[in-house]
Chain A
């Protein structure tokens, strides 16, 4: 049972990196590839239908952390207090940018929220690199360490490349070379590698600190029957918004 919930936890975290990674990547690329308002609109429209289904993987990671590893939840989050607060604020600004950018017409309004999307995406991506460094040291070292900062740069670059692969898959030829679905899958796996590496290293420690059997049983009985629904909903998103004729429309809600 411990093993099963470790696999679920690892899947959720790696899934977050592979899925939300390209949303953050597109956000990072907004100031780079989106020189005009119209290109930025199309970049955001390309990722918009996926964002709500992607970012929620991290919410699930946090919930699982609380339910399955209650002894570690406080240690991890409290141990990185300033970093977690900064990442939360980045996430909030990124989301607000997406929800608000099209609510009022006007170049300055949209430009401001587009900047928030880019800024928030950068804060989150960079923060993840530093978090992974701190996790790799068992939360003993400060994340503000040259290696932590380097990992921040690496994760941001991986996400940006993944974002570009996503744009190439969803809007072939519009923002660079067309990419196949297979190429997107590969860049997703690469984006998830840092998280998978840390998870592999932390596995024995996590397994040791799993909640007792009574709690896991309740979680299994309540959650596992919904696993097919959760997966089905994700598949439905990818089927509905796959590229092709009428792949993405402008104006998009985001």
Chain B
């Protein structure tokens, strides 16, 4: 592989790892916020346990979303400085807003939510998780604004040897954005719903004690997945109106797109026309549970296929029709540099991702008894040192 292929591989590997965790964050955040709100209103211990159990899965997943996201943010400057040199005046604005307006607040409010348990007033605590959800979606929006600019450079003109921002509104109403953002939101909800479904089916199959807990979670999951896949498919097809000409001439992108559509439709049919009508007694139909468990990874795979279609289809352009990927690479970047960082990021993030999934599986296997999140403070015992 030459240096360009290596740099592209590095972006693809870290970007895919990032989105595997982000897509679940987007799906679980509103669900946990709704559970927390219901708990605050009713005081029902079942709602409290749902908030803590699914909240624990949400935050364990979030850990990898953060660390992979750090690499994404710095990677632009490391390997693709040609992009900021040529289009930084335009492309940098949504990225700066993502960090300042969205992620800064998201991280702050998430810390307040996790550590404010038993310390913040009830409704202030609920407000934190809603603010986390809102800023997570704002974050996704600004990232999609930036990505859509690469697909369709609206709102900018060439001035000298660089792009200049002329119309920020055009970035926000970009035809490559208006349908792709809700498509991503739908995919997130679909993924979050299917994780609730798969985990609940696993617990119900094992005849866990918490039958009511997981029956309710299963139903919440089915409804969420149905809403999610409906949005994903609708806004998925709507995107074809604004797609760049020649995008699907790229064989790799066309294959990824085809696979995503075929399997997405199949899953959509199953969710909308089998699982949704069966929602009342799905928890009793034990033969469905292994199938529901096996389906859990599929939304993640489809989400990655979607990104492969969108990003590979953009090749050889970094910014469609304006700047090639080869020209966007940092001048002077060597294969040795990228190989070293590619190995470092892939090994470290890959191992951490595996550990994270093992930890999530462990949270599910142990069930809703006493999750770490929101654990009551111990009364301080005499120091035990050993």
Asked if B355 is at the interface of the complex by the 8 Å CB criterion, the answer is yes
Asked if A59 is at the interface of the complex by the 8 Å CB criterion, the answer is yes
> How far, in angstroms, from A100 to B67 measured CA to CA in the complex?
13
A residues in contact with B384, CB < 8 Å: 38
Whether A67 touches B359, Cβ cut-off 8 Å, given contacts A214-B89, A252-B115, is no
Asked if A180 is at the interface of the complex by the 8 Å CB criterion, the answer is no
A residues in contact with B73, CB < 8 Å: 59, 62-63
State which of A62, A75, A93, A103 has its C-beta within 8 Å of the C-beta of B359.
A103
Report the minimum CB–CB distance from B104 to chain A (whole Å).
5
A residues in contact with B386, CB < 8 Å: 36-37
Interface band, chain B? 35 or more
Whether A218 touches B168, Cβ cut-off 8 Å, given contacts A64-B100, A95-B67, is yes
Q: Is there an interface contact between A73 and B110, defined as CB atoms closer than 8 Å?
A: no
Asked if B373 is at the interface of the complex by the 8 Å CB criterion, the answer is yes
> How far, in angstroms, from A76 to B330 measured CA to CA in the complex?
11
Q: Is there an interface contact between A253 and B373, defined as CB atoms closer than 8 Å?
A: yes
Whether A250 touches B81, Cβ cut-off 8 Å, given contacts A51-B111, A62-B99, A67-B93, is no
Asked if B97 is at the interface of the complex by the 8 Å CB criterion, the answer is yes
Whether A211 touches B372, Cβ cut-off 8 Å, given contacts A55-B107, A84-B74, is no
Q: Is there an interface contact between A70 and B88, defined as CB atoms closer than 8 Å?
A: yes
Report the minimum CB–CB distance from A43 to chain B (whole Å).
14
Asked if B252 is at the interface of the complex by the 8 Å CB criterion, the answer is no
Q: Is there an interface contact between A56 and B104, defined as CB atoms closer than 8 Å?
A: yes
Q: Is there an interface contact between A214 and B164, defined as CB atoms closer than 8 Å?
A: yes
Asked if B126 is at the interface of the complex by the 8 Å CB criterion, the answer is no
Q: Is there an interface contact between A240 and B96, defined as CB atoms closer than 8 Å?
A: no
Residue interface mask B353-386, A partner, CB < 8 A = 1: 0010001001000000000110101101001111
Q: Is there an interface contact between B349 and A76, defined as CB atoms closer than 8 Å?
A: no
Asked if A66 is at the interface of the complex by the 8 Å CB criterion, the answer is yes
Residue interface mask A219-254, B partner, CB < 8 A = 1: 100110010011001101100110000100111110
> How far, in angstroms, from A226 to B97 measured CA to CA in the complex?
10
> How far, in angstroms, from A230 to B108 measured CA to CA in the complex?
9
Residue interface mask A57-80, B partner, CB < 8 A = 1: 101101111111011011111100
Residue interface mask B101-135, A partner, CB < 8 A = 1: 10111011111101110111000000000000000
Q: Is there an interface contact between A240 and B88, defined as CB atoms closer than 8 Å?
A: no
Q: Is there an interface contact between A71 and B88, defined as CB atoms closer than 8 Å?
A: yes
Asked if A48 is at the interface of the complex by the 8 Å CB criterion, the answer is yes
Interface of B (DSSP majority class): helix
**A113: nearest residue on chain B (CB-CB)?**
B355
Asked if B337 is at the interface of the complex by the 8 Å CB criterion, the answer is yes
Asked if A202 is at the interface of the complex by the 8 Å CB criterion, the answer is no
Whether A74 touches B77, Cβ cut-off 8 Å, given contacts A91-B70, A92-B352, A251-B375, is yes
Asked if B71 is at the interface of the complex by the 8 Å CB criterion, the answer is yes
Within residues 52 to 87 of chain B, which ones have a CB less than 8 A from any CB in chain A? Answer: 59-60, 63, 66-67, 70-71, 73-74, 76-85
B residues in contact with A197, CB < 8 Å: none
> How far, in angstroms, from A82 to B340 measured CA to CA in the complex?
9
Whether A85 touches B341, Cβ cut-off 8 Å, given contacts A78-B77, A92-B67, A229-B105, is yes
State which of B92, B118, B330, B352 has its C-beta within 8 Å of the C-beta of A215.
B92
Asked if A150 is at the interface of the complex by the 8 Å CB criterion, the answer is no
| 10 nearest A-B pairs in the assembled complex, by CB-CB distance | A70-B88, A74-B81, A67-B96, A63-B99, A77-B77, A52-B111, A249-B377, A99-B63, A49-B115, A56-B107
Interchain residue pairs with CB less than 8 A apart (12): A49-B111, A49-B115, A68-B96, A78-B77, A85-B78, A85-B344, A92-B352, A211-B92, A222-B97, A223-B101, A230-B105, A241-B115
Question: Residues of A at under 8 Å CB distance from B?
Answer: 36-39, 48-53, 55-57, 59-60, 62-68, 70-71, 73-78, 81-82, 84-85, 88-89, 91-93, 95-96, 99-100, 102-104, 211-212, 214-215, 218-219, 222-223, 226, 229-230, 233-234, 236-237, 240-241, 246, 249-253
In the complex, besides A67-B92, A68-B96, A92-B352, 17 extra interface pairs with C-beta distance below 8 angstroms are A49-B114, A52-B108, A53-B112, A59-B107, A66-B96, A74-B84, A85-B340, A88-B70, A96-B352, A211-B89, A219-B97, A230-B105, A234-B108, A237-B111, A240-B119, A250-B377, A251-B377
